[in-house]
Amino acid sequence: MSDELRGVVVSHADLASALVEAVERITGRQDGLVAVSNTGCGRELLEQRVAEAVGDAPAVVFVDLPSGSCLQASAHYLQTHEDVAVVAGVNLAMLIDFLYHRDVTPREAAERAAETAARAVRVLTR
């Protein structure tokens, strides 16, 4: 649906495309998520790639680390785009959940993603 949020996953190396592929394998859905790698990019070029991936629709940008070039480029983009939210610390659980909850605002989706990710981290011991 065109009025649903788009998710853009921004990462070092090939992590973003691997996460998007994993979401597709699990859900069978190929819509809603776009992968962006920082390979070969300075901040400006990476910001340009993020902008192209977001397009002109409201979006959530999922970044791999809470610091570094991926976050810097995404945060820069956020400064001039009100219909975007950025969430750092992407994991598979938050992406899968996001795919089914995209009829909210970018901020609401980002906050939900952070809560989903936190709940997905478990410690198992013998």
Partner 1 sequence: MSVLVRVDDRLVHGQVVVGWGRALTLRQLVLVDDAIAASDWEQDLYRMGVPGDMSIEFASVDVARERFTEWDRADDHGMVLVSDVDTLAQLCAVAPVQRVNLGGIHQGPDRTQRLAYVYLSDAEAQELRALADRGIAITAQDVPTTRPVPLREVLG
Q: Which of 4, 21, 27, 65 binds partner 1 (CB under 8 A)?
A: 65
* Contacts (CB under 8 A) with partner 1, residues 22-61: 40-45
Query: How is residue 126 written in tokens?
Result: 């013998």
Tokens of 125: 């011991």
- Cα(41)–Cα(69) distance, integer angstroms: 9
Q: How many residues in the shown chain lie near partner 1 by CB under 8 A? A: 16
- Residue 116 within binding range of partner 1, rule CB under 8 A: no
CB 95 within 8 A of CB 8: no
Residues in the chain: 126
Mask: binding to partner 1, 69-98, rule CB under 8 A, as x and -? x-xx--x---x-------------------
- State in angstroms the smallest separation of the CB of 41 from partner 1: 5
Identity of the residue, 14 or 31, whose beta carbon is nearer to partner 1 in the bound complex: 14
Among 12, 81, 101, 107, binds partner 1 (CB under 8 A): 12
Contact in structure between 30 and 24 (CB atoms under 8 Å): yes
In our burial notation (b when 16+ CB lie closer than 10 A, e otherwise), range 25-55 reads: eeeeeeebbbbbbbeebeeeebbebbbebbe
CB of 80 to partner 1, least distance (A): 12
* Site residues for partner 1 per CB under 8 A: 12, 40-45, 65-69, 71-72, 75, 79
